[in-house]
Structure 1
Amino acid sequence: MKTMKQVITAKLKLNLLTEQKTLLREVSLAYRDALNYVSQVAFDNNRTSSANKLQKLAYYDIRDNFRLPAQMACNVCRQVGATYRTLWTKVKQNSQHRKQGKTKKRYKGLDKPPQFVSRTCNLNYGRDFSFVKEGISLITLQGRIKVSYSGYYKHLGLIKSGDAKAKGAKIYYTPSNKTYYLLVSLEIEKPDIEPADIKRVSGVDVGQRYLAVETDTKNQVSFYNGKSTIHKANHYQRRRKSLQRKGTRSAKRRLKKLSGRERRFRADVNHQVSKKVAKSNSLIGLEDLTHIRERTNPRRKGKKASRKQKKANRKQTSWSFAELQSFIDYKAVLNDSLAIKVDADYTSQSCPHCGHTSKGNRPNKGLTFHCENCGFDLHADLVGARNIAMRTLLVRQDWASTGSLSACPDDLSGLSDVSSDEAKAMRLSRFMELRWTAETSPNHIAFSD
């Protein structure tokens, strides 16, 4: 039987004794100091991002000066190399944007060695940590310690039953409550899902005013309002602005405590929404929003931007659609479902009743959809969700006929490069024939309101 693999992260709280907390503090600080040391070595060697080169240059110094175990010393070099690769990518992107006239600012991320501040350690399963009867066996500078842990009951069940295979982990320290956590990557194997196992097809339209609007082919609709997240984001922005103006030591302490709260709030809301969307035995259609920020209209920034424009820019940059879609994706697998991305083009402009596609179908880009051709009226986000659901249903039918699950089936388009503009145009032409009502449906899909 074929199986599919899904990786999730389990957050385990470490219940440490005073001596054990001291040992973890010692090893985490040594690891952080080693990261900063290797960062300087990489900077002095032409800002290299090669982990192998860094290991040759700094491995023995890490072992001698910071007394880290062998595997952790290797992890330091890999982590620094990955950080420099990310910075080099940003440098190249900035260079392209400057040539294209998108920005005049030069990216300064590599002007000095990046500094590591967080008290974290990357660990390898079997070498640096392992699960034992007493809890978790963790490596320190003074040898191994065994500590008890607690966490989400589903994650604990996967670990104790052996249904999940531990991969890597990271020791994470939160200064606010002075607690150490272990973030463990768990790999779960699930049997491959067949088209006949899918009992429900749905489409999800994501946005800012409504975090998600979901509908299935049986017209079961759910709206998930984003008003609370926008209100909370505005609240945090006002607090930050006020504290930054003060600039006192107490204000800086408050800013430090405030950091991360908005991110954690958004993640919590996205978890709640994705849990409701990822129903069992479903094929869930999501919009492919790759490069969505680059595809949106140019925005005024800096002094040229009005107060209203600045507020809109802040809302757009804080839009966490990618996180929400990733949560839906991995929760779907756990519920014997699948999430697939389909083309997002014209989902909010195409009429699901007659197929007419026009920007004019969205008057003033508001929440009301009014078809210029047939006069069909509906909530604009629900129209987008319906179009996504129909495209997902078409993918399911292609899956049943070809045996391959793909939003871009090459054997149907007849083109070798399914990512080409020609192949995309062929897919969109098929989508234009889809109808939500049975009376006007062509040969592809038909289901009634």
Structure 2
Amino acid sequence: MFLTKTVILKISNPDNDLVETMQKYSDGMNYASKVLFDKGKPIPAMKLQKEVYPYLRETLKLKSQMSCNIPRQVAGCYKTLKKQKKAKWQKVEFSPSSMTFSYKRDFVIDEDTVKITTICGRKAYSILNYDYAKQYFDGSWKYQASKVVKHKDGDYYFHLSLEKEVLDKKITDASTFMGIDVGMNYLAVASTTDKKCSFFAGGEIKNLRNQYKSMRKRLQSKGTLSAKRMLKYIAGKEKRLMRDVNHTISKEIVKFAVENKVSVIGLEDLTGIRESTLSKVSKKMRHNHSSWAFRQLQIFIEYKAREVGIITHYVDPSYTSQTCIRCKHISKNNRNRLSFRCEKCGYENNADLIGAMNIEHKTRDYRYILESQGCLSATQTNA
């Protein structure tokens, strides 16, 4: 199994040579795009390369590797477009905001510097390497085709793509499991096979998002151009907030799993969960419930777990919040918001923790079902 990762590193000293190279690269992409579009159908990258390579090299003065990258990118783009059933055959335009490089052929990199081939030859640029990214320079990751990208803030960044091969883990070999319940009371609750648990709160986040909601309501009532600009700004800020929180919590969850020697993390299959449960949520909480990026949190947990060799498995979330962990009695009356009390045996606990415990049980049961059926080859299972 291969792990893939993209690390974004800011280029601290971009110059005119880099900017001009990106413009020429864009010109080459658009030239190749016109040539392919005029064909009326996708063609292989090598065939396109034969037609556009002389122009890219002689007229635009692009280096040889760039002149090979361009037809591959353009051919791949049109091939993807053709696969989309409802997409019409249309000419694709490329902006000078992105340029692809091949490792060793036209870029090399270390912790502080990236050396890039430009139209003026190989040039070295300083990069701001963040603490989290330094782990990817330990020699265990292989560098792949990467990009220089101009972001909306006007700064230039190197998008370094990496790959690492790891051994496949089998769920049938697992011994310690952990269930994760996601929700709005706590953004996540974790419970392991040996009954260790952790709560990941989201109260402060809910308060911030309620403030954004109030601001949106006021701005929407104004309807002015400046109000619309501010609404767009708030939407972006809220999206970044959600992403940052999900990154932080997923990191803490995986750290908790590693500390407790967890082999498999069980997650709820949330396909359609927002639509099916929205009617059960109070009107006051409906915005938080319908817009929180639960699936994004799970994706972050999934790839962070994969990096440390932990399997993720998705289970049916049905009745996980209504099932007594002690006597297995199922009833919607067992749960009352934050509290769980079994109407049959009287067992009491935190309602979200009960959900996490039942998810852990379902994940563990899946392992034993596979074993009982003599299945010894099941590996990582993702939604």
Tell me, yes or no, if the aligned pair for 2:9 and 2:157 is still in contact at 8 Å.
yes
What is the CA distance between 1:37 and its match in structure 2?
6.8
Map residues 330-345 of structure 1 onto 2, 5 A cutoff.
330-345=303-318
Aligned equivalents of 2:198 and 2:358: distance in 1?
Answer: 15
Q: Deviations over 1:57-111 (max 9, x none)?
A: 996298377665223312431563376368x36x4xxxxxxxxxxxxxxxxx869
Letter in structure 2 aligned against 1:344: P
Partner of 1:73: 70
Partner of 2:3: 6
Letter in structure 1 aligned against 2:263: L
Q: Which of these residues, 319, 322, 330, is aligned with residue 346 of structure 1?
A: 319
Partner of 1:24: 18
Q: 1:237 to 1:183 in 2, by over 3 A?
A: farther
Partner of 1:207: 183
Q: 1:357 to 1:110 in 2, by over 3 A?
A: farther
Aligned equivalents of 1:6 and 1:196: distance in 2?
Answer: 21
Map residues 97-108 of structure 1 onto 2, 5 A cutoff.
none
Q: 1:134 to 1:385 in 2, by over 3 A?
A: closer
Q: Which runs of 5+ in 1 are unaligned?
A: 92-108, 300-306, 409-418, 420-449
Map residues 108-123 of structure 1 onto 2, 5 A cutoff.
119-123=97-101
Aligned equivalents of 1:276 and 1:38: distance in 2?
Answer: 46
Q: Which of these residues, 110, 123, 128, is aligned with residue 145 of structure 1?
A: 123
Aligned equivalents of 1:45 and 1:234: distance in 2?
Answer: 53
Aligned equivalents of 1:369 and 1:146: distance in 2?
Answer: 61
What is the CA distance between 1:28 and its match in structure 2?
3.3
Q: Deviations over 1:118-139 (max 9, x none)?
A: 8223333233422369832223
Q: Which has the higher contact order (CA 8 A, sep 6+)?
A: 2
Tell me, yes or no, if the aligned pair for 2:338 and 2:352 is still in contact at 8 Å.
yes
Q: Deviations over 1:152-176 (max 9, x none)?
A: 33532432x3211112322222343
Q: 1:200 to 1:232 in 2, by over 3 A?
A: same
What is the CA distance between 1:211 and its match in structure 2?
1.8
Letter in structure 2 aligned against 1:341: Y
What is the CA distance between 1:384 and its match in structure 2?
1.4
Q: Which of these residues, 321, 326, 336, is aligned with residue 299 of structure 2?
A: 326
TM-score computed with the length of structure 1 as normaliser? 0.66
What is the CA distance between 1:31 and its match in structure 2?
4.5
Partner of 2:144: 167
Establish whether residue 156 from structure 1 lines up as the match of residue 150 from structure 2: no
Aligned equivalents of 2:88 and 2:33: distance in 1?
Answer: 11
Aligned equivalents of 2:262 and 2:122: distance in 1?
Answer: 45
SS at match of 1:282: coil
Aligned equivalents of 1:351 and 1:24: distance in 2?
Answer: 63
What is the CA distance between 1:212 and its match in structure 2?
1.0
Partner of 1:381: 352
Partner of 1:184: 160
What is the CA distance between 1:322 and its match in structure 2?
2.6
How many residues of Structure 1 are paired with residues of Structure 2 in the alignment? 367
TM-score computed with the length of structure 2 as normaliser? 0.75
Aligned equivalents of 1:168 and 1:390: distance in 2?
Answer: 42
Q: 1:33 to 1:341 in 2, by over 3 A?
A: farther
Aligned equivalents of 2:335 and 2:89: distance in 1?
Answer: 46
Tell me, yes or no, if the aligned pair for 1:10 and 1:183 is still in contact at 8 Å.
yes
Aligned equivalents of 1:292 and 1:121: distance in 2?
Answer: 38
Q: Deviations over 1:258-294 (max 9, x none)?
A: 5643333222211211111113231243325263258
Tell me, yes or no, if the aligned pair for 1:282 and 1:338 is still in contact at 8 Å.
no
Q: 1:317 to 1:52 in 2, by over 3 A?
A: farther
Partner of 1:104: none
User: Identity across aligned pairs (percent)?
Assistant: 28
Aligned equivalents of 2:269 and 2:170: distance in 1?
Answer: 26
Partner of 1:445: none
Tell me, yes or no, if the aligned pair for 1:205 and 1:384 is still in contact at 8 Å.
yes
Letter in structure 2 aligned against 1:167: Q
Aligned equivalents of 1:286 and 1:85: distance in 2?
Answer: 37
Aligned equivalents of 2:182 and 2:158: distance in 1?
Answer: 32
SS at match of 1:136: strand
Aligned equivalents of 2:47 and 2:223: distance in 1?
Answer: 44
Tell me, yes or no, if the aligned pair for 1:370 and 1:378 is still in contact at 8 Å.
yes
